[in-house]
Structure formats: structure tokens, C-alpha cells
Amino acid sequence: MIWVIDASVAVRWFLIDEADTAADSVLREVIDKPELFAVPELFSFEVLAVLCRIHPRGASVFREGVLPLLSGGVLRHPMTESLARQAEPFLSQGLTGCDACYPALARELQGCWLTYDRRAHKRIRRLGVSHLLSDGLPPDWPL
């Protein structure tokens, strides 16, 4: 299984007020088995933007914390025609163009999108490509 990481997950790795055991578990797996994870290319831009807005050292935390994780073997998937087509059903369910790229990548890779975005997950839950981490880890999570 390939796990597509939402920016909302990564941000929790670096904010004390947002700490969560499920996010911590994802981070441990990313460190131990990066090949099980993927992100769309917009992930980096979203995480940098959020960290710079709400973390006192956002840019350096991004450089020192996020970039090494991404360089460690996580698949960084570019926007392709195929991914744009995969996003269309999620757009029609009301997701933004950015949000739709995450479940689209999960579908393209036959994986699952891990997110804390309750609104987006609720809109597409019936399509079976997302898991809301605030409900805990997925049942088939690596042990």
C-alpha cells in the first residue's frame, strides 16, 4: 500500500499545539520506510506556506525537517495529464484543485490519502481513497 501524505499531516510533525499520535506514527514510518509514501508536487509548497505563517522558524524548520524527509525516498509526484484526469471526480465532489490532487494521486498509485482535512474527507469518503487520521490510524496500517 502506498500512503499519500497530506500537508495537514506534515504540519503536525512540527507544531507542539497540533501534535497527534497518528501523525507521529506516520512520521516514524516515513523515516523507516519512505518508499511506502508519496506526495503530489504541491505538498512542499503547501507545507512551507503553512509553516511560514504559523511557526516562528517556519522556513528553517521546512529546510531542516521537511526537505530531508522528502529527499529520503518519498515519491514526489509531478502534475501530469493522468493525475489531472484522476482529480476530476474529486473536483466534482467539491474539493479544491489542490485538495483533489491528493486523493487523485492515491487513486493513481492504488493507495490511500492520509489527511486531517475533515471536510474534504467527508466529501469523498464513499470513494474509498482517503482516511481521516483524527479517527486514528487506518486498519491496515503497517505495524
Over residues 12-27, the pLDDT tens digits come to 999 888 789 999 999 9
Over residues 84-96, the pLDDT tens digits come to: 999 999 999 999 9
**pLDDT over 80 (residue 143):** no
**pLDDT at res. 19:** 81
Which residues have CB under 8 Å from 59's CB, separation 6+?
Answer: 48, 51, 52
| CA contacts within 13 A on the Cβ side of 123 | 15
Q: What is the pLDDT of residues 40-82, one digit of tens each?
A: 999 999 999 999 999 999 999 999 999 999 999 999 999 999 9
Spatial separation of the C-alpha atoms in residues 32 and 55, rounded to whole Å: 26
Instruction: Look at residue 50 in the predicted model and tell me its pLDDT.
Output: 95
The residue ranges of every structural domain in the chain are: 3-135
- pLDDT given at position 126: 94
At residue 133 the predicted structure's pLDDT band, cuts being 50, 70 and 90, is very high
According to CATH, the topology of domain 3-135 is: Rossmann fold (3.40.50)
Instruction: Give per-residue pLDDT as tens, 103-116.
Output: 999 999 999 999 99
What is the pTM assigned to this prediction? 0.95
Query: Average pLDDT of 36-42?
Result: 97
